[in-house]
Homo-oligomer: A and B are copies of this chain.
């Protein structure tokens, strides 16, 4: 693209450095910004910069937080002894969106992966063990992806947490709602038969 203005071209480059935004979309965004009030543009930049500067990680659950301890961990209506263990903030957000969970989270910050060189000490596993020690009779829900890395991480966590009296469960795996049985992969279908549940409970 041939942009004669250096200022415009810089802004287009800035926008197109964002993921999923190409040169054409970036130009559209830049021209949109040009038509906005200066104040609105400053507000936009302030929101982005303040977020980058002030957002931190909750000292308890390692989720994103505005304060030292996040709003979920401080909420009196949340069950502190039901801890959902997730890979990253994205999964915590996805579970929050279901509005089906009233406990708290623990964000590991990744999954154990020898292939990618991620070892247990790089994750928030020690802090999870500490949390479980300080929280008698707690339930841990392992909401990790059903991949080799996820299963490895669950296996490792299970070993680390042995003897601490925590009740460990994993999220249910099976055929998706609305999914055609015919097209489900063999592993999922096989597991969903082995892990069948009484009709009354479903």
Partner of A51, one of B10, B54, B89, B93: B10
On chain B, the residues within 8 Å of A34 by CB distance are 51-52, 55, 64
On chain B, the residues within 8 Å of A54 by CB distance are 7
- Residue interface bits A89-108, CB-to-B below 8 A is 1, else 0: 11001001101000000000
Partner of A29, one of B6, B19, B27: B19
A45 at the interface (CB under 8 A from B): yes
Q: Can you give 28 A-B contacts (C-beta < 8 A)?
A: A1-B97, A2-B96, A2-B99, A3-B93, A4-B65, A4-B72, A4-B96, A5-B55, A5-B64, A6-B66, A7-B54, A7-B66, A8-B51, A10-B51, A11-B50, A13-B47, A14-B43, A17-B44, A19-B29, A30-B51, A34-B51, A34-B64, A36-B52, A41-B48, A41-B49, A42-B49, A45-B45, A45-B48
Q: Which residues of A line the B interface, CB within 8 A? A: 1-8, 10-11, 13-15, 17-20, 25, 27-34, 36, 38, 41-45, 47-55, 63-66, 70-72, 89-90, 93, 96-97, 99
